[in-house]
A = this chain, B = another copy of it.
Amino acid sequence: MSETNAPLRIAIAGLGTVGAGVIRLLNTNRDLIAARAGRAIEVVAVSARDRSLDRGVDLSGYAWEDDMTELAGREDVDVMVELVGGSDGPALAASRAALKAGKGLVTANKAMIAHHGLALAELAEAAGVPLKFEAAVAGGIPVVKGLREGTSANALTKVYGILNGTCNYILSEMEETGADFSETLAEAQKLGYAEADPTFDIEGIDAAHKLAILAAIGFGAKVDFAAVRVSGITQVRAADIAQADALGFVIRLIAEADAHEGKLLQRVRPCLVAKDHPLAPVDGPTNAVVAEGNFSGRLLFQGAGAGDGPTASAVVADLIDIARSEVSAPFSMPVAQLQALPPAEPGHRMERTYIRFTVNDRPGVLAEITAAMRDADVSIESLIQKGRAHEGGEVLVAMVTHEGPEANVRRAIDLLDGSDSLTGDPLVLPILPN
């Protein structure tokens, strides 16, 4: 076929845990990789902020560049591996420079691909070089490949899954321990499952980056990160998890996309997931993606969503594909053929919903809530009122609705807006269909 035997020469920009992991992987599995790739994959140059740092890998055989953009332009490099991160700034500049210089680009940078993936793909097309980003979504799970190639024969009806390991760790820990959100987040930070500034993870933005990439590939759509409707997990209480459990559900942060009637719906939000759904047993920092195709049926891809080993595994798989010359369109079809799908309004979508109110313990509150439900045409399937634990304590009212339009639930919540019966904002969580 079209492979040559000359080594594939790579440059690595960014030597954090993933960068060091890629070097360690290339060293550890050297012979195997050469056999599978049809040729050696050789690091020729690296770049990072601090040259003096000990990263636990021997860098003495590689040229050092202080400037990433210089690295990207080196004559002796075939492919740049971008592991710096950040949607813009130096990572983007160096990535553009690499593609413009006719180098292939492999990146783990979900934010950059979610924001600039199409522009980078256009540069790659123009230069006739590969752009690959398996590591940008779901760590070591080959789900970019899964959608780009595995389900390529299918019109997908839906893509959804658990795309953020930090949130999944926190939610499954809360489930396990009964502890509340803030306490569990602090514990996760101590253990390295959450960053010092966890905003991108717990607010759902990281999952939204990944979802926007998967949706583009899965539905042949232009990446549209701005259209992802995002809510994070900070409002989920231990009591919600306990109620969900009693009702036969777990709570997971679900990223989901579908395309209907030429419109793309992309959402990240905590959902109730029935215990017999394939995503329910996915716990800890594990990720999982479900793709439903019109011929394949439901496919599940599951594995480690982060970590230096799994992420390096994805980066090097991309390099092996490039070494094998298996390198057609990054988003599964040329950019010009991706459709600009307008965002769908979810209001008419039918869902079952979990609604939790915290209320003052006084007569008439339940009547007020149930009247709002009736007036908004929301049909209640089950309702639990949990009495206060101590005098003056909050009372929790949790309910599951029958299937109905999402807009009705929002209308019911609006009707209750400003009521002095409520002691805080209600929490509305959809129930993931089985």
Contacts and interface: CB of A to CB of B under 8 A. Distances in A.
Interface stretch (A162-170, A242-250, A320-328): A320-328
Nearest to A25: B295
Contacts of A33: 152-153
Contact of A332 (B36, B295, B300): B36
A303 B298 contact: yes
Given A298-B303, A302-B299, A328-B38, A150 B317 contact: yes
A371 interface: no
A35 B220 contact: yes
Nearest to A147: B142
Interface string A276-303: 1010010000001000011111111111
Given A293-B313, A295-B310, A151 B142 contact: yes
B295 A313 contact: yes
A317 B28 contact: no
B153 A317 contact: yes
A2 to B, nearest CB: 6
A372 to B, nearest CB: 38
A1 interface: yes
A29 B142 contact: no
The CB with the most chain B CB atoms within 10 A, among A299, A314, A316, is that of A299
A155 interface: yes
A359 B280 CA distance: 41
A340 to B, nearest CB: 15
7 contacts: A35-B220, A142-B145, A146-B150, A149-B321, A288-B300, A299-B302, A300-B303
Q: How many copies does the complex hold?
A: 2
A218 to B, nearest CB: 11
Contacts of A146: 142, 146, 150
Contacts of A320: 149, 152-153
Contacts of A150: 142, 145-146, 317
A317 B276 contact: no
B302 A296 contact: no
Given A297-B140, A297-B303, A152 B36 contact: yes
A220 to B, nearest CB: 6
Nearest to A134: B150
Nearest to A41: B153
Contacts of A298: 303-304
Contacts of A152: 33, 36-37, 316-317, 320-321
B29 A294 contact: yes
Interface in A1-22: 1-3, 21
A128 interface: yes
Contact of A149 (B142, B297, B302): B142
A312 interface: yes
Interface in A305-353: 307, 309-310, 312-317, 319-321, 324-329, 332-334, 337
Given A29-B294, A146-B150, 11 more contacts: A29-B153, A29-B295, A35-B333, A38-B329, A142-B151, A142-B299, A152-B316, A153-B316, A278-B302, A299-B303, A326-B327
A254 B165 CA distance: 29
